[in-house]
Structure 1
Amino acid sequence: MNIWQEAVIAAAAFAAGMINSIAGGGTLVSFPALLWVGRASVAANATSTVALWPASLAGLFGFRRELKGSGRDFALFAAPSLLGGVLGALLLLRTPSATFDRLVPFLILFATLLLAAQEPVSRRLRAGREEGHRPTRAWWTGALIFQFCVGVYGGYFGAGIGILMLAALGLLGFTDIHRMNALKNLLAICINGVAAVCFIASGEVYWTDVLVMTFAAIAGGYLGARLAYRLGRRFVRLAVIVIGLVMSVSLFLR
């Protein structure tokens, strides 16, 4: 890897860390950057997951207050999240590179559309705070199955899992959007964490890239936390949506 490639992936990881700390969707920057410098698609996805995970773990510290009293909810969702994350990662590792190459534009487009839906869904959840209902056992069972599916998708690709989890929590009657965000971030860390372990064990990771990207992502996350109010979530989310659309279109046309 030459110095220019290092600079590109470092800049992408820095931007991804900053984006994740403000609005989410950083994978839509880091993953395409690895493709752009010539990394194989499956290994690029694995590398991006491993590299960004420490930064997301550090970012969870900011939600420690909101997580108080969420132990029971986390315990319920942790198992399907972890199992789904492992299955998704194993599916990725068993997907032929040529097949994954064809899937990449669709995955990026799907994740971009999820990110675009995040704000409307969040508004709907906030508006429905007074409409909280008592979910039945069937609702909880369905939500846990859905969370398992989210885990599979998260282990396989990952971008956009946050909005899926927010929607599930909202349907279960959760009304505190800050607590929901905290729980969502913790579950995402679990999903990406077990996926990262699978990727590391498989050897499908570019370790030089991981080293460069991890430190850049942590630095970006720190700066993003400080710039969050100045830049605004809406501006950052719109920028990521535009990037995701451009990348998906360019990959469709490739």
Structure 2
Amino acid sequence: MFAGAMNALAGGGSFVSLPALIAVGVPPVLANTSSTVALFPGGLASAWAYRSGLQPVGGVPLRALPATTLCGGLVGAVLLLRTSAVAFTFVLPWLLLAASIALMFGRRIGDALRARWHIHANAVLAVQFALGIYGGYFGGAVGIMMIAMWGLLDKCDVQRLNAPRTLLVSAANIVAVLAFILAGAVRWPETLTMLAGAIIGGYGGACIGRRAPPRVTRAITLLATSCITVAFFVKTYAPSLLHR
């Protein structure tokens, strides 16, 4: 429920769901695929709750963005399925760190870039494809990355971008979910339990997001993501350092 609510409010739900699955014994790659499947319906619930706010982003028609994101999501999912457990375990802390930086500084980075550059709509589609790949492969904080990128089009109200953000994060995940299911890369008992909670949390989080103070939700999200990122670095690299 907390992971679904985090995705609806500020992004980063995988920071909760992925460690939870690993903690109960699911291998890292399967934990990532299962987390994506478990959080997907919650993302759809959030998108449905935000549906009245759907509108074009800058000068880019909304219908063009989901198609581009879908293609990127498929590429990312295939890459993940071809990644070994050892390689994913090694790279996971760095993926979490990248997502944490996006959550912490995404808006500032967007503002700084917007002050210097203004990009064309076609470039947005290219970057959106790359974000779709990231979303299908891992996806942590991908919604925040999208908002930072959209800021290069024009000065947008972040609250107004929540609706297209939830829709496009779901678009990145839908083909990944199908690919993971068809490949048999999902641990269903754990996934179904988490899925039920994520739907409730996703819809409830979207409803809360319309009223909750942004600073409060942001502070809670950043605290959780920072602690989990540090924990994964310690778990992955501390044993080898101590051994040396």
TM-score, normalised via structure 1 length: 0.82
Flag structure 2 segments of 5+ consecutive residues without an equivalent: 236-244
| Alignment check: 8 A CA contact 2:12 2:225 kept | no
Flag structure 1 segments of 5+ consecutive residues without an equivalent: 1-13
Alignment counterpart, residue 73 of structure 2, candidates 85, 94, 108: 85
| Alignment check: 8 A CA contact 1:28 1:240 kept | no
Shift of 1:181: 2.4
Partner of 1:3: none
1:76 equivalent to 2:64? Answer: yes
| Alignment check: 8 A CA contact 2:72 2:130 kept | yes
The count of residues paired between Structure 1 and Structure 2 equals 232
| SS of structure 2 residue aligned to 1:65 | helix
Instruction: Mark the CA change 1:92 to 1:170 in structure 2 (over 3 Å): closer, same or farther.
Output: same
2:88 partner letter: F
Partner of 2:214: 233
1:95 equivalent to 2:83? Answer: yes
Shift of 1:134: 8.1
Partner of 2:198: 217
Alignment counterpart, residue 188 of structure 1, candidates 160, 169, 190: 169
1:27 equivalent to 2:8? Answer: no
2:35 partner letter: S
Partner of 2:92: 104
Instruction: Mark the CA change 1:223 to 1:58 in structure 2 (over 3 Å): closer, same or farther.
Output: closer
| Alignment check: 8 A CA contact 1:41 1:100 kept | yes
Deviations 1:107-128 (A, max 9, x none): 1111111111245467x49xx8
| Alignment check: 8 A CA contact 2:49 2:203 kept | no
1:15 equivalent to 2:8? Answer: no
2:20 partner letter: A
Deviations 1:37-71 (A, max 9, x none): 11111110000110111111011122222215679
Instruction: Mark the CA change 1:84 to 1:229 in structure 2 (over 3 Å): closer, same or farther.
Output: closer
2:9 partner letter: I
1:83 partner letter: C
1:1-254 equivalences under 5 Å are: 14-68=1-55, 73-120=61-108, 124=111, 139-173=120-154, 175-228=156-209, 232-254=213-235
| Alignment check: 8 A CA contact 1:74 1:187 kept | no
Shift of 1:19: 1.6
Shift of 1:230: 7.0
Identity of aligned residues (%): 39
2:54 partner letter: L
Between 242-251 and 202-211, the greater mean CA deviation after superposition:
242-251
1:206 partner letter: R
2:40 partner letter: W
1:78 partner letter: P
Partner of 2:239: none
What's the C-alpha RMSD, in Å, of the aligned pairs? 2.5
1:63 partner letter: Y
